[in-house]
Amino acid sequence: MKKGGKMKVKMVATLTLVCVVCSLLLTKVYNATLPKIERDIAMKLKTNLMKVVFPHAKEYKQSTRDTSFWVAYDSSATILGEVKFCAIVEDTVWSIIDTTGEQYGIAFKVFPKGYGGPIEVLVGLKRDTTVTGIRTARPAEGLKETPGLGVKVNEPWFEGQFIGKKQEEIKLKKDGGTLDAITAATISARAVTEGVRKGVARYKKYLKSAKPKEESKQKEEK
């Protein structure tokens, strides 16, 4: 083999070795960091779930008594609620359980189509079927609505309108409902509103009966 040919073979072998070593190192780093990435994603999801269940809280922390529970505090560090989330439909619907083992409500995700694409919306629902709160995805989380217009679905005044509403009330005023639209961004506002209403209709079947315990006892005695 000529000298030039030997050099080429040597270069190819060297490059191959470098690629193999780099691949192994990247794989090792990925495997080492994956558990932390997954933990961070899980923690962020739990925080967001707490935000739609207790939207007026100022702080959310894992319970020191049982880390499967999360605690919501107000500005004076008073506990507003302590719950845990149990998946009913993977990554879509969760049952919210309080410290007594009773179901507080449910939380679910919907993905209505907005002006720029699907809008991820997280919704909290009490046992009496009223909305506890909603949270739309932020631009950093994949929201593609128009900056300065459709992206206003993130604003507290818009999301806050859903609190305490029942299924039949969740419509824009121009559609016969109770919610204000977003100026120059009706498509985005309507998408979120329709998504939440249809989500309530679809997932409220997962709510357990909200009948008072005394009433239940009376029926059992009969």
pLDDT tens per residue across span 128-182 = 999 999 999 999 999 999 999 999 999 999 999 999 999 999 999 999 999 999 9
Burial label, 105 (beta-carbon count in 10 A; 0-12, 13-18, 19+): buried
Grade residue 111 by pLDDT with cuts at 50, 70 and 90. very high
Place of tokens 């217009």: 149
pLDDT of residue 217: 43
Q: How many CB atoms lie within 10 A of CB 202?
A: 12
Nearest-CA neighbor of 110 among 81, 68, 174, 153? 153
To the nearest whole number, what is the mean pLDDT of the chain?
87
User: DSSP code of 171?
Assistant: S
pLDDT of residue 8: 66
What is d(CA 169, CA 31) in angstroms, rounded to the nearest whole number? 48
Grade residue 27 by pLDDT with cuts at 50, 70 and 90. low
pLDDT of residue 107: 98
Residue 120, phi-psi category: left (phi > 0), alpha (psi -120 to 50), beta (remainder): beta
Q: Of 68 and 26, which is predicted with more confidence?
A: 68
pLDDT of residue 4: 59
Average pLDDT over residues 67-96: 96
**pTM to 2 decimal places:** 0.79
Average pLDDT over residues 17-37: 64
Place of tokens 């950093």: 140
SS3 category, 212: coil
pLDDT of residue 206: 97
Average pLDDT over residues 198-222: 67
pLDDT of residue 41: 78
pLDDT of residue 13: 67
